Amino acid sequence: MLMSGNYRIIHPVEDGHQLWLRGETAAGAKVTANKKSPTINIAKEELENGWKGGEVRLRLQNSKELRALGRDGFRIAGNSQQVDIMASAEQGLLYGAYHLLRMQETGKITENIQVEEKPAFDIRILNHWDNLNRTVERGYAGYSLWRWDQLPEVVSPRYEAYARANASIGINATVLNNVNASPDILKAEYLQKVKVLADIFRPYGIKVYLSINFSSPKILGGLEDSDPLNPAVPLWWKEKVKEIYKLIPDFGGFLVKANSEGQPGPQDYGRTHVDGANMLADALKPYKGIVMWRAFVYAPDEPDRAKQAYAEFMPFDGEFRDNVIIQVKNGPVDFQPREPFSPLFGAMQKTPVMAELQITQEYLGFSNHLAYLSTMWEEFLKSDTYSKGEGSTVAKATDGSLFNHSLSAISGVANIGVDDNWCGHHFAQANWYAFGRLAWNHELTSEAIADEWIRMTFSSDPEFLVPVKKMMLDSREAVVNYMMPLGLHHIFAEGHHYGPQPWYSQAAREDWTCVYYHKASKEAIGFDRTTKGSNAVAQYFSPLREQFNNPATCPDEYLLWFHHLPWDFKMKDGKTLWDALCYKYDKGVQQAREFQKIWDKAGSLIDEHRFQHVQSRLKIQASDAVWWKDACLLYFQTFSNKPIPYDIERPVHELNDLKKIRLNMRHTN
Ligand code: GCW
């Protein structure tokens, strides 16, 4: 058995707990291996339990060709009767085993199997925003998986199931705790708990990392301060790191949110990001640990938040130690349904940069809305930064190839909790899956990933597969349409970020209001980031900066991101901006309704329980879409003073009623 204890209970209903790992068979394939190890044993057992063909040979080989595929790469050669999985390291064999099983489950086994795979990014890491009290910041799938209260004595079987799910899609690292980090995580008692998790994850090829609180030396160590230039401080970190590696010899390193949204950092002492990051890097270096230093910084006094990460970090390019990587959110503001890529990608060239994606749907309807995010990430990864001429995609600027960095990584903020189905919404599992697959191979299409996921999770019946795949592929754009089309952004209700609140104007900081982002007036709407405005366009390479700067060439998707335009501005298709906005919102509503129809029809082909679960959420999504449309159009209409085009369904709400809605965080933990 793969799972410890008596974990494999029969679930009375199909609750989605098995994720995409459903290929178990009683066939009992013959599997041999030329070496034994905990990792190879897992690969062997997976194949014994899942492979429906003939003999599989797992072969660890130290050849030049295999070494070129790296620690995680593998080759598969043979046919359904006899097949070899070869790798130069045991992780490679494990990934090869999962790959072969995936080929089988998705109908890709041919008479001549020849596969060679090597991951695009070295570190493929989940970021859990899990607090030590088990709440999850921006988590919509129940409490944290980590039972800090029970560890290290009691070990939940879900830890191993989690590791297995990640390994099956190539994820090889995890940050266990929230970037808004409690210093307590570094206490000896917590490190004992972390060690237990690391031991469980290790055979699955998963390394553990921790988010740290920059003030830990002061708070935990009782030092006077946590100033990186106070000699006692780096010493404290050195000792702490030593303590960690004693327990966890393959510990990955630290993730740091510093001087951001009230978190402590080196600037508290007049020092820089470089001072802070390098101090930690020096402590980790002897053990091959790394620092992932986040660039999510924005100060209240800068007139354009979108410019700040670039402005603050570019001057430090090349000044960080070689075991520091800068972690940058995909967009320059904050995980909005659509943003252009952050200009740090491609611009920062001497220091490696990694993308931070958000798998959890903080800004895309929590686990109530069906939003397949692979299309968003694909759009991002394939965006051309033009940093070294055409073809300098974000993917290449971060996978080490464009700037010859030996450190490459990609991270995703996890959407996992203790809910039976792990992610709250059955289709949110697809986002976890897609993150892993894209981290492995950023050239995969969202279509191909959705295809795999549906076949493995639900069904390969074309009557189900075809419409449901289309629904998934359309879903993120639908959310953009009914929430904030044409480049609008951050008009979310304050705090919880679920519903619309474009009228929100009173906050401790201007950049925490919605009016700051849309700037609607009687005359116009949008954020002017052109050369005449905040000049954020200048942070992009040519020809993007010119393209973005001109409303005639700026893609419609980013129009109001970069431009403040009159309501009767003529769009490329001849519509006025106001009408175009109305039609986009309406389109979003129609799409959400279409998803209901698709699901009701296709759903009869799958189990009742998951069918109903998704159906109930699609109802919420459709009604939320109307709520968004009415709130935004009625509110913006108070400025535009123009009629909503008469072929569009009329609002069914009163603006004043919508303004009274106060969600009691009902959608969060
Ligand atoms: O998106 C915002 C979230 C915060 C989060 C922050 C960050 C962890 O609203 O909840 O804090 O970004 O990424 O640091």
Tell me, letter by letter, the H, E, C secondary structure of 466-503.
HHHHHHHHHHHHHHHHHHCCCCCCCCECCCCCCCECCC
What would the DSSP string read from start to end of 103-146? Answer: HHHTT---SSEEEEE--S-SEEEEE--B-TTS-BTT--SSS-S-
Is position 608 annotated as part of the catalytic site? no
Residue 335 CB less than 6 A away from ligand 1: yes
Query: What is the residue extent of each domain of the chain?
Result: 2-117, 123-449, 479-527+564-658
Q: Which SS3 state, helix, strand or coil, does residue 387 take?
A: strand
pLDDT, residue 301, reads 80
Q: Whose CA is nearest to atom 2 of ligand 1?
A: 334
**604 Cβ contact partners less than 8 Å away, ≥ 6 residues apart:** 611
How far is residue 75 from each of residues 114, 327, 560, measured CA to CA in Å?
7, 31, 48
Residue 180 CB less than 6 A away from ligand 1: yes
pTM of structure: 0.97
Residue 137 CB less than 6 A away from ligand 1: yes
Atom of ligand 1 nearest to the CA of 180: 8
Is position 24 annotated as part of the catalytic site? no
- What is the CATH T-level fold of the domain 2-117, as seen in this structure? Chitobiase; domain 2 (3.30.379)
Q: What are the residues facing 126 on neighbouring strands?
A: 174, 412
Is position 261 annotated as part of the catalytic site? yes
Beta strand ranges found along 317-465 (DSSP E): 324-329, 353-358, 409-413
Structure tokens at 611: 């069918």
Ligand 1 center to residue 638 CA distance, Å? 31
CATH of domain 479-527+564-658: 3.90.1330.10
Atom of ligand 1 nearest to the CA of 334: 1
Q: Which residue in 261, 420, 546, 608 is the catalytic one? A: 261
**123 Cβ contact partners less than 8 Å away, ≥ 6 residues apart:** 172, 173, 252, 290, 354, 407, 408, 409, 410, 411
pLDDT, residue 10, reads 52
Other C-beta atoms closer than 10 Å to the C-beta of 303 total 10
Ligand 1 center to residue 303 CA distance, Å? 20
Mean pLDDT split into 10-residue runs, the chain, 669 residues? 45 87 90 98 97 97 97 97 98 98 97 97 98 98 98 98 98 98 98 98 98 98 98 98 98 98 97 98 98 93 93 98 98 98 98 98 98 98 98 98 98 98 98 99 98 98 98 98 98 94 93 96 98 98 98 98 98 98 98 98 94 98 98 98 98 97 60
Cα–Cα dist 516/526, whole Å: 10
Structure tokens at 91: 């992780």
Structure tokens at 405: 């960095």
pLDDT, residue 28, reads 87
pLDDT, residue 298, reads 87
Q: Residue 182: how many CA atoms within 13 Å on its side-chain side?
A: 15
Cα–Cα dist 259/265, whole Å: 5
Cα–Cα dist 607/605, whole Å: 7
Strand 74-78, strand 82-87: pairing = antiparallel
Residue 135 CB less than 6 A away from ligand 1: no
Atom of ligand 1 nearest to the CA of 335: 1
Q: Which SS3 state, helix, strand or coil, does residue 199 take?
A: helix
Q: Whose CA is nearest to atom 11 of ligand 1?
A: 180
- What is the CATH T-level fold of the domain 123-449, as seen in this structure? TIM Barrel (3.20.20)
Atom of ligand 1 nearest to the CA of 260: 14
Ligand 1 center to residue 405 CA distance, Å? 28
pLDDT, residue 665, reads 53
Cα–Cα dist 364/425, whole Å: 12
Helix or strand (DSSP H, E) at 76: strand 74-78
Q: Which residue in 46, 160, 339, 362 is the catalytic one? A: 362
Q: Which residue in 122, 334, 384, 528 is the catalytic one? A: 334
Residue 273 — φ and ψ, nearest 5°? -55, -35
Other C-beta atoms closer than 10 Å to the C-beta of 550 total 14
Residue 129 CB less than 6 A away from ligand 1: yes
